[in-house]
Amino acid sequence: MDEFHELSAKLSEYLIVRKKQIMTGNLTVSGFDLPLLREAMSSIGTVMEQNEEKRFLVTMVKPGTANRNTAYIVTQLVSGQQVRAVAYAKEGLISMRTSEKACAQMEEAFRRYSR
């Protein structure tokens, strides 16, 4: 089973997604727990949902200077050293690379909050 399947399914609860455009990745962090993950994600957007049992968050992020496009990122704390993430943004005819920008913000937040 695809390790990102459950997170992609959660993403689909928030918006209609094109599976080929979902960004996925495993990120290395240092000393993370769920409250710290929430704090890091809250620094870049609005946490829409948290599931303590499955250790995931759904965050809405509005990256870029105009903050017009919205990306959704589902993160799951795999261990204190690893976060699994999926991201998606509905793009118009001209791609604004919203998901990529949101992921870059997430990675920067993880660097700031790593212990």
pLDDT tens-digit series, residues 38-64: 999 999 999 999 999 999 999 999 987
In a domain, 96, yes or no: yes
Report, as an integer, the average pLDDT of 59-71: 84
80 belongs to a structural domain:
yes
Residue 54 falls inside a structural domain: yes
Can you name the residues that pair with 24 across neighbouring β-strands? 86
The total domain count for the chain is 1
Do residues 59 and 44 make contact, with C-beta atoms less than 8 angstroms apart? yes
Domain that holds residue 72: 5-12+23-113
* Burial of 63 from C-beta contacts in 10 A (0-12 / 13-18 / 19+): buried
d(CA 94, CA 78): 35
